[in-house]
Chains A and B, each alone.
Chain A
Amino acid sequence: RKEVEQDPGPFNVPEGATVAFNCTYSNSASQSFFWYRQDCRKEPKLLMSVYSSGNEDGRFTAQLNRASQYISLLIRDSKLSDSATYLCVVHSWGKLQFGAGTQVVVTP
């Protein structure tokens, strides 16, 4: 079983719509959680950390459910520039475990 699992997508989203997707992780002792964004052939870039109480950063909302071991990301009012692959990242014992990513394609 993979440490971090994500639906690969693609999620095709009309511009202005809302899209949400989840990620599950296997290590219950994981300490911190992140969403990264990766554009094609580029390095991953930190989008936001995920806190236990849930947190928002502009149009992006992240939630963490430790009991069920999943993390979610919601994007409101999608922009064309949101098209990317979103990586779920879990930090455990000094190492980052990456999911394979969820591809989001925002269409005009």
Chain B
Amino acid sequence: GAVVSQHPSRVICKSGTSVKIECRSLDFQATTMFWYRQFPKKSLMLMATSNEGSKATYEQGVEKDKFLINHASLTLSTLTVTSAHPEDSSFYICSARYSGSNEQFFGPGTRLTVL
């Protein structure tokens, strides 16, 4: 149990376009979802925390207008990278947590390459 999926697994786009990444909890209801970014040989950095039905809480230094997060249901959160630039190229990973638990279940990640 506790499976989280992400789609797409890999995306290549041109500079200036927007990219949407989906994170789904397949067999549980995720009251909270987290979005992380990982650069090569670096640690996962938390970008934002989203609770179903409310606005996401962004970490310091993360632009909320650039990284739009929507957590419209208990099984789906989306991250949209708007007007992507090459420096946004990274590995984006989501995780999900159900109510009453501290454990986070990670999605398989999305590798974004902006040309």
Contact = CB atoms under 8 A, between A and B. Distances in A.
Interface of A: 2, 4, 8, 32, 41-46, 87, 91, 94-101
A98 B34 CA distance: 13
A95 B49 contact: yes
Contacts of B42: 100
B43 A87 contact: yes
A42 B111 CA distance: 10
A43 B41 contact: no
A65 to B, nearest CB: 21
Interface residues of B, number: 20
B111 A32 contact: no
Nearest to B42: A100
B111 to A, nearest CB: 7
A96 B43 contact: no
Interface of B: 34, 36, 41-46, 49, 91, 93, 95, 102-104, 106-109, 111
Contact of A99 (B43, B102, B103, B109): B43
B96 to A, nearest CB: 12
A95 to B, nearest CB: 6
A87 B111 CA distance: 19
B44 A98 contact: yes
Given A8-B41, A96-B46, A98-B43, A41 B103 contact: no
